[in-house]
Structure 1
Amino acid sequence: MSRVSTHEQVKDLGDVPSFPAVYAAALTRRPGAKRSATLPDLAHRVRKVRIDPARAAAFDHLMGGAATDLVHPGVLHVLAFPVSLSLMARSDFPVGLLGLVHVSNRILQHRSVEVGELVDVECRTRDLRPHRRGRLFDSVTTILSENGEIIATDVSTYLAKGAAPQGEDAGAQGQSRDGRAGGDGSERSSRAEFVPSAPTGRWSLDAGTGRRYAEVSGDANPIHMSSLTARAFGFPRAIAHGMYTASRAFTESRPDLTRPLQWDVTFEAPVTLPGTVLVRYEDDGDGGTRCEGWKPARGGKPARRHFSVEVTPADLG
């Protein structure tokens, strides 16, 4: 992860922005507003954000788990998500907010987090780089305690589709920084053919899955809400939130929330709603669990992987 620039400015927001306000800002970008060629040397910060017990419990229940006093790291992600989006919705941000593809996510949780805690949320963007489908960048969120202790870091990698600006060599940039293919499902030609093992579970997701996640997370992006609104953005049907599938896989991995952990997710193909997802969980023998979710083969079409999830204990020394 990149170090914080010594020239970085920190903008304090009075509260966590609402999703409607963020998307309205992205939709009402000033005509002729010029985008910067670089990411802003700026962080958005919200202090003393309370982790709401009712929201945390609703999130646990939606993922199929029991409500506990310890916070699912997916709650930390949705808590910070609108803060990071407010930074990406700036009129001069190098890429447009609408149409970004979430290709991977990594959360490193330094300690357990209790519901009701007050935390500070800081969001910044880093490492704009070319990709054969456009450009990638990282949205880096730091969750801190009131005394400045780092509780968790959340790095979300996004793909902005389209041609890279002139002068950027995107031809050889087919992978994300950690070496995994940073694609959106269109990178299949550069990957080995996916051959699934026997599934250990099956999810049947109905058409309302996106709306239920939106109620808990606040993320009411139209592509998740209904087929009608999804078609306006080029999708034949609504698609499940990527962090819904990742968070459900996390819960079903039965991690130990009392210890530091790392949660890695790679998204490859969207889950259309309604839809069926086959999943397989495997323990690695060292306290970690790997999960894959895929679309079953059907009608002569091969199986297609939707996501990969790894949950591992973190040794923070």
Structure 2
Amino acid sequence: MRTEPGGPMSVRELSDVPSFPAIYAAALTPRPGVRRSATLPSEAYRVRRVRIDPERAAAFDHLMGGPATDLVHPGVLHVLAFPVTLALMARPTFPAPLLGLVHLRNSLLQHRPVRVGELVDVEASVRNLRPHRKGRTFEAVTTIRVDGEIIATDVSTYLARGGGAAEAERAGAESAAAGASRTAEAPRREFVPPVPTGRWTLGADTGRRYAEVSGDANPIHLSALSARAFGFPRAIAHGMHTASRAFTEARVDLRRPLRWDVEFDAPVTLPGTVLVGFEPEGASDGGAGAVTRCVGWRPGRDQKGPRRCFAVSVTTLG
């Protein structure tokens, strides 16, 4: 691989998409004497001419409950670029350890239909390291290009727990001293679920099945045993699995540009049950301006009320 200067951001060319086992092995390997940086790396990783494999795309479609088509599910674009981003975040000097990051939000903007078999260039970078009441957040940005034209941009927001409270307080104090107004953090509202339009029953093998089509074999998703090694009582579903299934069930017209926004609130434990509620808005024919929203939640149990797990919004663009 080689490094090219590019102003404040340099680009490192990778010969191939990094493998998930190699990424997680690097993340788990102790590096004595290597200290984590206080800033995000000013370097992007790029892989050229990555083929969108038809068999993988079809397997992804089927897992999400939809038919295989020659148009690519945007979830496939996310998993195609995901290992490039992870390789950047698995570096020993990255400000936070890879295993333990919490995926808070995801936003994917797709500018045109993408067909299986296309060759795309994938570039990943990180930005906007900011204090948070539970630690620090940052954004991982991947751009997908064909012949230099950006066809999709995927932005994932992550939380790195710990070490950010003092920074958040200091930043707030400096802002107040400068005369900036601050609004007290709003108390969390009680979640009132909509009328459910569907019920998902997710088996204990849900994480393993998604790992087979996505390649993402993070131990917290695979089994209760491997999840407990990282502090989880049970395995949890991949957030982008539930988000991708919601996208499929929204029946979006993949021939049009679109925006797909997701918020993750609470993990979906496996095995488990998720209730979902879909609500279409705007153009009834699914044309420009049409929006479909979906909320997924865990039913109340053990005298606890329902807990929202995720919220999805898909907008069809002109």
Cα deviation, residue 165, structure 1: 7.7
- Opposite residue 17 of structure 1, the aligned amino acid is P
1:131-210 superposed matches below 5 A? 131-145=132-146, 147-164=147-164, 167-169=167-169, 190-210=187-207
Task: Say yes or no: does 1:278 pair with 2:279.
Answer: no
Question: Unaligned regions of 5+ residues in structure 1, if any?
Answer: 174-187
What is the CA deviation profile of residues 52-109 of structure 1, one whole-angstrom value per residue up to 9, with x for unaligned ones? 0000000000000000000000000000000000000111111111100000000000
Tell me: CA distance 1:246–1:30, structure 2 relative to 1, closer, same or farther (3 Å): same
Of 239, 242, 246, which aligns to 1:245? 242
1:32-51 superposed matches below 5 A? 32-51=33-52
Kindly indicate whether the alpha-carbon contact (under 8 Å) linking 1:227 and 1:238 is maintained by their aligned counterparts in 2. yes
Of 223, 226, 230, which aligns to 1:229? 226
User: Following the alignment from structure 1 to structure 2, what is the Cα–Cα distance between the partners of residues 54 and 78?
Assistant: 14
User: Following the alignment from structure 2 to structure 1, what is the Cα–Cα distance between the partners of residues 172 and 76?
Assistant: 36
2:307 match:
304
Cα deviation, residue 29, structure 1: 3.8
Cα deviation, residue 169, structure 1: 3.1
- Opposite residue 110 of structure 1, the aligned amino acid is H
Cα deviation, residue 163, structure 1: 2.0
Kindly indicate whether the alpha-carbon contact (under 8 Å) linking 2:36 and 2:95 is maintained by their aligned counterparts in 1. yes
What is the CA deviation profile of residues 259-305 of structure 1, one whole-angstrom value per residue up to 9, with x for unaligned ones? 00000000000000000000000001231100000001122110000
User: Following the alignment from structure 2 to structure 1, what is the Cα–Cα distance between the partners of residues 265 and 128?
Assistant: 21
What is the CA deviation profile of residues 234-258 of structure 1, one whole-angstrom value per residue up to 9, with x for unaligned ones? 1111000000000000000000100
Kindly indicate whether the alpha-carbon contact (under 8 Å) linking 1:201 and 1:280 is maintained by their aligned counterparts in 2. yes
1:27 match:
28
User: Following the alignment from structure 1 to structure 2, what is the Cα–Cα distance between the partners of residues 36 and 166?
Assistant: 17
Of 254, 258, 281, which aligns to 2:255? 258
Kindly indicate whether the alpha-carbon contact (under 8 Å) linking 2:113 and 2:255 is maintained by their aligned counterparts in 1. yes
Tell me: CA distance 1:169–1:5, structure 2 relative to 1, closer, same or farther (3 Å): farther
Cα deviation, residue 167, structure 1: 4.5
Higher mean C-alpha deviation, range 117-126 or range 89-98 = 89-98
Tell me: CA distance 1:16–1:297, structure 2 relative to 1, closer, same or farther (3 Å): same
TM superposition score normalised by structure 2: 0.90
Kindly indicate whether the alpha-carbon contact (under 8 Å) linking 1:131 and 1:171 is maintained by their aligned counterparts in 2. no
User: Following the alignment from structure 1 to structure 2, what is the Cα–Cα distance between the partners of residues 299 and 172?
Assistant: 39
Cα deviation, residue 32, structure 1: 2.2
Question: Unaligned regions of 5+ residues in structure 2, if any?
Answer: 174-184, 284-289
- Higher-Rg structure is 2
Task: Say yes or no: does 1:294 pair with 2:297.
Answer: yes
1:117 match:
118
Tell me: CA distance 1:5–1:163, structure 2 relative to 1, closer, same or farther (3 Å): farther
Kindly indicate whether the alpha-carbon contact (under 8 Å) linking 1:69 and 1:115 is maintained by their aligned counterparts in 2. yes
User: Following the alignment from structure 2 to structure 1, what is the Cα–Cα distance between the partners of residues 273 and 291?
Assistant: 26
User: Following the alignment from structure 1 to structure 2, what is the Cα–Cα distance between the partners of residues 204 and 189?
Assistant: 33
2:286 match:
none
User: Following the alignment from structure 1 to structure 2, what is the Cα–Cα distance between the partners of residues 172 and 86?
Assistant: 33
Cα deviation, residue 170, structure 1: 7.0
Cα deviation, residue 314, structure 1: 2.5
What is the CA deviation profile of residues 15-35 of structure 1, one whole-angstrom value per residue up to 9, with x for unaligned ones? 000001001111114112111
TM superposition score normalised by structure 1: 0.90
SS at match of 2:107: strand
Task: Say yes or no: does 1:10 pair with 2:11.
Answer: yes
